[in-house]
Structure 1
Amino acid sequence: MASEMGLEAYFATMRQQGYITVHETPRFELDSYIQNYPGRSRFDRLLLIGQTSVALHIDALRAAVAEAKKSRDTGRYQRAAAYLRIRAPEEAEKLISKSWIDSTDATNAMQTKRLERELKVYKNNLVKESIRMGHEELGRHLEAIGNLMGAAEAYSRMRPDVSTPKHIVDMGKHLVSVYVQRKEWASVVSQLSKITGIQGADEEKLTQPYIMSMSGLGLLGQKSYESAASCFLAVDGSSTSITAATDGFLCANDIAVYGGLLALATMDRKQLQTAVLENNKFRAFLELEPHIRRAITHFVNGRYADCLSILASYRADYMLDLYLHWHLDAIYDKIRIKCITNYLVPYSCVTLESMEAAFSVPGQSVEAELAGMIRAKTINARIDSINGLVRMVKEKPRVRLHMDALKAVSSFEKTTLDRLRRVNIAAAELEVKSARKGLNAPDSGEVWFDRSTPVTM
Structure 2
Amino acid sequence: MNVDGHPLSSEIYLTGFSHNHSPLDSPACSSDLSSLLEHTLAFSFPHEEIYKNLLLVPSLCDENDVFPSVKPSKNFDFNVYIQSYIGYTQIERLLLIGETCPSLRDPTRRFTLQLLQQSENVFLYKKLMDRPLFSDMEFDGNWILEKEKEACLIIGNLENENSIYKSKMDKKKVYEIQCKLGQAHYKYGNFTDALQAFSNARESCSTPQELFEVNLECAFISIQLQNFDYVSNSIGYLAQSQCLEPNIASKLKSWAALAMLYYKNYRLAVVKFLEIPTSHYNAQIFSDVLSVQDLITYICVLSLAESDRREISDLLGNANFRSQLESLPHIHALLTSFYNLQYNSFIQLLDQISNDLRFDLYMHRHIHTLSKKIYSKALLQYLSPYECADLRTMGQSFGVDPAYLEKQIAWLINDGALMARIDSCNKLIYTHKSNERMKTYSTTLKTGDGFRRNTVSTLVRISLTHYNSCPK
TM-score range, shorter chain: 0.7 to 0.9
Report the equivalent of 1:215. 256
Q: Does 1:248 align with 2:248?
A: no
Pairwise CA distance, 1:195: 0.5
Q: What CA distance in whole angstroms lies between the structure 2 residues aligned with 1:388 and 1:36?
A: 49
Aligned to 2:57: none
Partner of 1:177: 220
| Distance in 2 separating the partners of 1:79 and 1:364 | 50
Where in structure 2 are there 5+ consecutive unaligned residues? Answer: 1-63, 465-472
Q: Which residue of 2 aligns with 1:160?
A: 203
Contact 1:64 1:80 in 2 (8 A): no
Could you report, residue by residue, the CA deviation over 1:229-256 in whole angstroms, capped at 9, with x for unpaired residues?
11212212525x6433236111111111
User: Is this contact kept in 1: 2:175–2:204, CA < 8 A?
Assistant: yes
Give the structure 2 partner of residue 365 of structure 1: 404
What residue in structure 1 maps to residue 245 of structure 2? 204
Matches within 5 A, 1:2-401: 19-26=66-73, 27-83=75-131, 89=136, 92=137, 95-199=138-242, 203-239=244-280, 242-246=282-286, 248-274=288-314, 276-360=315-399, 365-397=404-436, 400=439
CA deviation vs aligned residue, 1:310-336 (integer Å, no higher than 9, x gap): 221223221111111111111111111
Amino acid at match of 1:80: L
Once the 2 structures are TM-superposed, how far is the Cα of residue 215 of structure 1 from its aligned partner? 1.4
| DSSP 3-state at the match of 1:157 | helix
Q: Aligned AA for 2:431?
A: M
Structure 1 residue matching 2:147: 3-state secondary structure: helix
CA contact (8 A) 2:70 2:358 kept: no
8 Å contact kept, 1:179–1:188:
yes
**TM-superposed deviation, 1:140:** 1.4
Change (3 A) 1:132 1:64: same
Q: Deviations over 1:371-398 (max 9, x none)?
A: 1110111111111100001111122357
Q: TM-score normalised to the size of structure 2?
A: 0.75
Q: Secondary structure at the match of 1:365?
A: helix
Query: 1:233, 1:282 within 8 Å by CA — same for their partners in 2?
Result: no
The structure, 1 or 2, with the larger RCO (C-alpha pairs under 8 Å, 6+ apart) is 2
Amino acid at match of 2:193: G
Letter in 1 for 2:284: A
**Which runs of structure 2 are paired with 1:439-450 in the superposition (5 Å)?**
none
Q: Which moved more, 1:182-191 or 1:298-307?
A: 298-307
- AA aligned to 1:75 is F
CA deviations over 1:398-435 (Å, ceiling 9, x no partner):
765787699889999xx89xx9xx99xx9xxxxxxxxx
Report if the CA contact (8 A) 2:251-2:286 is conserved: yes
Matched residues in 2 for 1:34 and 1:228: separation? 24
Deviates more, 1:219-228 or 1:184-193: 184-193
Residue deviations 1:26-65, cap 9 Å, x none? 4333223211111111110000011111221222122212
- Report deviation, 1:366: 1.5
What code does the residue aligned with 2:299 have?
G
Aligned residue number for residue 436 of structure 1: none
Gaps of 5+ in 1: 1-16, 427-457
Against the structure 1 CA distance between its residues 167 and 18, is the aligned structure 2 distance closer, same or farther, given a 3 Å change threshold?
farther
Q: Structure 1 residues 39 and 361 mapped into 2: Cα distance closer, same or farther (>3 Å)?
A: farther
Moved more, 287-296 or 247-256: 287-296
Identity %: 26
- Give secondary structure in 1 for the equivalent of 2:71: coil
Secondary structure at the counterpart of residue 422 of structure 2: strand
Q: d(CA) in 2 for partners of 1:117 and 1:74?
A: 22
Q: Which amino acid aligns with 2:212?
A: V
CA distance in 2, matches of 1:268, 1:331: 15
In 1: Cα distance, 2:416 partner to 2:391 partner: 19
Aligned residues: 395
Moved more, 385-394 or 349-358: 349-358
- After TM superposition, give the deviation of residue 196 of structure 1 in Å: 0.6
1:130 deviates by 2.1
Report the Cα offset of residue 364 of structure 1. 9.0
Are 1:209 and 1:242, in contact at CA under 8 Å, matched by a contact in 2?
Answer: no
| SS of 1:383 mapped into structure 2 | strand
Aligned-residue offset at 1:128? 2.5
What SS is found at the alignment partner of 1:25?
A: coil
CA distance in 2, matches of 1:163, 1:131: 11
Counterpart CA distance in 2 for 1:70 and 1:77 is 11
Distance, in Å, in 1 between the alignment partners of 2:175 and 2:278 is: 31
